[in-house]
Amino acid sequence: MPEIIPPPLTPDNAVPLICCDAAVILLAGIGFMLLAPGAGRSWSGFYYLTPFLCGAVAALILAHPEILPGLWGLRLGVFFIGLATATGWQAIRLVAGQPVHYILHVVLCLIMLAFSSLAGSTGLLQRVNHALWLILIAGFHFAAARDVRKAGSTATPASFFLFRLLIFYGFVIILCMVLSPWLPQPLGSAPTALWAIVTYNALAVTKVFGVIFLLIALSREQISARHRSLAMQDTLTMIGNRRAMDEWISQHASDRDTFAVLLADIDHFKAVNDTYGHAAGDAVLMALASAGRRLTGSQDVFFRIGGEEFVIILRNRTEQEIIGFAETFRDIFREHSHKADSRIFTVTLSIGICSGSLSRFSDVFAWADKALYAAKRSGRNRVVLYSDDQARTSDEAAVPSGDFALTPEKTISVDRQTSASLNG
């Protein structure tokens, strides 16, 4: 039986290769649509599938440009390549949790298609048209890379590699534009060569599968990050919880910045719940969290560590600034009116403060807790500062004599001092 030897692959019979790539791209798009986040939502599935559908159509048209009159086969093929890149950018935005903007990018591609209809197969206008298409497509790559970089405050492995993959292909397109007179089609404008066809299709398929893999990985990383964020967040007040505080301390234990722990506790909170109901108690907690968020700066952190107890960590503040912050916090909360049914009531706050090193946070926290206890025992609705130097040598009870400086409750009396010593 004679051996059947297939004809060698040449530019003239490379159509099966291109059609095969089109089918692979389309199947990859269907797979991505099924695996990507939010695939159950019809519009999300449409957004995910559109770039692959446009890429498959482009490959089929470029494989058989003769099915359309004149140069329209090539024009529409390039148009669908641009459309595939633009819609691919929007799919990346969707995965990154950003809004999609299809209309503008479709209009840009239509404008380029209209301009292409004015350009012939040769001449200056054709070269300008070719360069503009490449600039537009490269721009879509760079814009997608920018959105990947903006997707999260912390770079993940998937976003790291996806960003670099998009930048790489953007520069490949720019390089092809610069070297276009010397590169054979479809990489450039010189006569077609087999290696250029194979290289072009290999780049296209590699990009498709690379982007799909990294987008799926990115979506999984985002889901994991959201779960982690929820585990670190108090569900009522939407600020960090005790676990978040412990992690923050472990991450900053080696910092050399000076810091102060403010331990705040709502006075008679159980009575609030018993008198006005738990819904009113929740409203009080949220009001306190809102006041703390407004006051804290970019270097400060705020946590609810349980029940009616909150922690604020201030960094790089003087003692006067720390006490001033605590007094302002206490005043804002005390002056806030709460409503339960038709009853109006106010609630006060006690705050204990201690400054120290993050490497000794457990000790500093314990000293701030002693200061809070002193504020409670001395009448509540006040700020107590634990003396840093004396605290390190104190093994006394919760309120050792001379270890606390008290900022008493502010009243209309002008004779009250703004700070005093708490004894006994």
CATH code, 26: 1.20.1070
The residues, any chain, with a CB within 8 Å of residue 80's CB and separated by 6 or more, are 54, 55, 57, 58, 61
Task: Using the 3D structure, point to which of 212, 231, 250 is the last residue of a domain.
Answer: 231
Q: What are the strands, taking DSSP E only, across 258-400?
A: 259-266, 301-306, 309-315, 338-340, 343-345, 349-356, 383-386
Predicted pLDDT at 350: 96
Are 190 and 296 in the same domain?
no
Are 347 and 274 in the same domain?
yes
Predicted pLDDT at 2: 43
Is the bond preceding residue 186 a cis peptide, omega within 30 degrees? yes
Mean pLDDT for back-to-back runs of 10 residues, the chain (424 residues)? 42 47 59 58 68 80 78 84 85 80 83 83 77 87 87 73 90 88 80 82 83 82 78 89 90 84 95 92 94 92 94 92 94 91 92 88 91 92 76 36 41 27 31
Q: How far is CA 146 from CA 160, 163, 173, 209, in A?
A: 11, 8, 17, 20
The letter for the amino acid at 6 is P
Q: Distance between CA atoms of 349 and 332, rounded to whole angstroms?
A: 10
What CATH number is attached to the domain comprising 314? 3.30.70.270
Are 60 and 114 in the same domain?
yes
Predicted pLDDT at 281: 94
* H/E element, 390: helix 388-391
**pTM of the full structure:** 0.62
- The verdict on residue 371 lying in a domain is yes
Which two structure tokens, joined as six digits, stand for 258?
Answer: 């000076």
Are 92 and 57 in the same domain?
yes
Q: How many structural domains does the chain have?
A: 2
Q: Distance between CA atoms of 119 and 290, rounded to whole angstroms?
A: 61
Number of residues that this document lists for the chain: 424
Helix (H, G, I), strand (E, B) or coil at 12: helix
Are 207 and 287 in the same domain?
no
Are 223 and 360 in the same domain?
no
State the alpha helices, DSSP H only, in 151-241.
157-178, 194-231
**Which DSSP string do the residues of 229-280 spell out, in sequence order?**
HHHTB-TTT-SB-HHHHHHHHHHHTT----EEEEEEEETTHHHHHHHH-HHH
Give the N- to C-terminal CA distance of the chain in Å, as an integer.
110
Q: Which of 212, 262, 225 is nearest to 386 (CA)?
A: 262
Q: Distance between CA atoms of 333 and 345, rounded to whole angstroms?
A: 12
Beta bridge partners of 420: 406
Predicted pLDDT at 32: 61
Are 271 and 144 in the same domain?
no
Predicted pLDDT at 36: 60
Domain assignment of residue 15, given as a range = 11-231
Task: Using the 3D structure, point to which of 209, 231, 253 is the last residue of a domain.
Answer: 231
- Which residue's structure tokens are 């102060």? 260
Predicted pLDDT at 403: 43
Task: Using the 3D structure, point to which of 172, 199, 231 is the last residue of a domain.
Answer: 231
The residues, any chain, with a CB within 8 Å of residue 264's CB and separated by 6 or more, are 288, 292, 309, 310, 311, 312, 329, 349, 350, 351, 372
Are 214 and 304 in the same domain?
no
Are 201 and 265 in the same domain?
no
- The verdict on residue 6 lying in a domain is no
